[in-house]
Structure 1
């Protein structure tokens, strides 16, 4: 079998990638936030073995028969890995991050791991809103005291005066472990490289620099068979009830009453529910959060926003209750666990985060504009801009980031350039990229080089790529290699690809393998494809399958095509169907045809 008659692709190169930017940053103290002195007073930090899970941020469960607020801990499959990572961080320094959906059990698992492995450590758990930049003597004290930094919902601590790269580097230097949790959606927003396919425009946060250093432990929302077996052996009635009735939900999710509150909120939006105004108040808090405005929210703001939420849902036709009744309904605790609106301080509210994660509808532009009008500081502006950019609400993103750029913030200048470029205002974007580049913003250097290459100014583009590469900007290194590759300078490209590959850049590994394959070095190419495939690079998986297919290693090719097909690679689906047809596995091929999108299939 040869590639001439049916193999699709085989050179799934990664194109020039302009660097991720944009920021959601947290750390500035808000009105009423705990003062910095908490961070300077280790005697107030709890000892891990005496620490309370609710204080750590674990979701409350309904009271047990003995009055306990949390059920016994059921061992999770990730426990061994998580505890080993925390032990390593305690010995060498580093950030251990548990990522998963709301109420997946992240906080409880991390809490139990800290208590198990670091029982005598002091726990520095700064309150949200406090500045996370202890004085140097306090940092030294952290190391001397053997303390662990605990950051539940990490996204609230990232950015200026929070867990900046420099602050994390200090913790690492002093071998102070940092243990954190993060919901999956914020993690994907702040860490993902979201190249749009042209390589020119990507948006991530400055906090991605922190997240890239993290040892990430993923926690599934749904429990495995082993976890369910262990839960079934537990005598606690809450866990037994969850095992018996959780259905399509995770055990922790069921115990935390997330699905119950989500269903009740959705029902309350309907005509005749009797709680339409209460549902609108919850919608206001949920959408403000999704728009990027950090909570808690004042009663006045929720009242202001809910009016239009209610009107958009049907207004008086829904026969809404009074405002006091609405707040009472939204704040009533369900199952002894939590409420749709969670009180933070007197007159200030947040949405239950499960509702935020469980909502997929678009955030209206007017909510984003309202959020921006109530932004408290630069961090809110960055967060609102990031949310708006990812949703395609470019006018809101521009309005949020432009004042910061005009104040001289290099990252904001870069963000504004990115927005203008996406909006077709290329000359203005170029000027802003140059301004940010002149201030040392290497992301801007990288994007400026891409813009220049696109407009035929290749010599200046190459010089800028080399500048970014020389200064350690890994995407700039990769982009330089792609530039050389595309300009028929394969030997130079190979050297630069190898440099990026040794630094862990999987797209460089994939492209290097393609280059070697084209240079008739198939064995080395296969080894590199396998390396990138093993580390989750989907195009490399496809390219490995094509190489195997072209060399008549059919069984191996089929297995790798299936792997890529299962993960949504359309050309892998195309090739898999053709391979199965060619070797007489028509029933299997037909089953894939029925499930696949028409565009994924051979004509």
Structure 2
């Protein structure tokens, strides 16, 4: 296709020039009272006819190639728009990280209800965050991945603050970073397959074990995450993309266990996926 684009127009221009010379030349010579032998004029006329027969199909083929290319690009953009709409709704764009403040959207567990006489400035949705010792490690990983891309996995028991710690870390990303939130069957796969730009996007995979369990069970109706998909997200020409997941220690240990000889290795891909991650035990 590239060679056709490079050589197509010069070739057509050359043939067109020959055609013009062969058809207009005799007329100009006639006006100048210069006479060519009959056999020369006949030969030129025949050559002009042949050149026309050659040029016309080439022009038609080149125009069809250009038209098909424009049509294919339009169809690709339409598919991208449909995928983004399924994921992001009527806004047709993934939300900005700094605009995602809903506890439920992030997957953060509800806080203990505030007492009736609590300070009115306190948020019942997201109470003031109390930093922990290894928050600096989480922040350092997110800051580094904002340049290089990467996969960060936070591991701790359920309802222990993993998701909130990750949410606090991404709040410090520069303006303009967007966020993918799980939103239905294979939506992330569809975004990647259709070539939707995910540059400077946080892929939020809270409780990633839910996706791994679905993938290994063979249930194609639910959302899935595979090592191949994450690897595609982390390619240099895609990102930087930051994939952030959370899971429990017992789930992580379950995936890391190799099956006994002769038994199906149900967690082989999950193990490959976790080995790609920078894991931090909170």
Same fold by TM-score, threshold 0.5 exceeded?
yes
Identify if the C-alpha distance between structure 1 residues 156 and 119 changes in structure 2 by more than 3 Å, giving closer, same or farther.
Answer: farther
1:38–1:126 contact (8 Å) kept in structure 2: no
Gap regions ≥5 residues in structure 1 = 1-34, 220-603
* Total equivalences in the alignment: 180
Identify if the C-alpha distance between structure 1 residues 139 and 76 changes in structure 2 by more than 3 Å, giving closer, same or farther.
Answer: farther
Tell me, in whole angstroms, the C-alpha distance in 1 between the residues paired with 2:98 and 2:109.
19
Q: Show the counterpart of 1:74.
A: 130
1:94–1:177 contact (8 Å) kept in structure 2: yes
For the aligned residue pairs, the C-alpha RMSD in angstroms reads: 2.8
CA apart distance, 1:148? 1.1
Secondary structure of the corresponding residue to residue 276 of structure 2:
coil
CA apart distance, 1:61? 1.1
Secondary structure of the corresponding residue to residue 190 of structure 2:
coil
Matched, 1:99 2:155: yes
Tell me, in whole angstroms, the C-alpha distance in 2 between the residues paired with 1:194 and 1:98.
22
Matched, 1:167 2:198: no
Question: RCO (CA 8 Å, sep 6+): is it higher in 1 or 2?
Answer: 2
**What TM-score, normalized by structure 1, do the two folds share?**
0.28
Tell me, in whole angstroms, the C-alpha distance in 1 between the residues paired with 2:162 and 2:252.
13
Tell me, in whole angstroms, the C-alpha distance in 1 between the residues paired with 2:174 and 2:102.
15
Identify if the C-alpha distance between structure 1 residues 118 and 53 changes in structure 2 by more than 3 Å, giving closer, same or farther.
Answer: farther
Identify if the C-alpha distance between structure 1 residues 108 and 40 changes in structure 2 by more than 3 Å, giving closer, same or farther.
Answer: closer
Please point out which of 208, 216, 225 is paired with 1:154. 208
Q: Show the counterpart of 1:115.
A: 171
Identify if the C-alpha distance between structure 1 residues 36 and 44 changes in structure 2 by more than 3 Å, giving closer, same or farther.
Answer: closer
Which structure has the greater CA radius of gyration?
Answer: 2
Q: Deviations over 1:419-452 (max 9, x none)?
A: xxxxxxxxxxxxxxxxxxxxxxxxxxxxxxxxxx
CA apart distance, 1:85? 1.4
CA apart distance, 1:147? 1.4
**What TM-score, normalized by structure 2, do the two folds share?**
0.56
CA apart distance, 1:184? 2.1
CA apart distance, 1:139? 4.3
CA apart distance, 1:141? 1.6
Question: How do 1:13-28 and structure 2 match up within 5 A?
Answer: none
Identify if the C-alpha distance between structure 1 residues 61 and 40 changes in structure 2 by more than 3 Å, giving closer, same or farther.
Answer: closer
Secondary structure of the corresponding residue to residue 91 of structure 1:
helix
Identify if the C-alpha distance between structure 1 residues 118 and 152 changes in structure 2 by more than 3 Å, giving closer, same or farther.
Answer: farther
Question: How do 1:261-410 and structure 2 match up within 5 A?
Answer: none
Q: Show the counterpart of 1:178.
A: 243
CA apart distance, 1:130? 4.8
Secondary structure of the corresponding residue to residue 141 of structure 1:
coil
CA apart distance, 1:40? 6.7
Secondary structure of the corresponding residue to residue 207 of structure 1:
helix
Tell me, in whole angstroms, the C-alpha distance in 2 between the residues paired with 1:210 and 1:137.
19
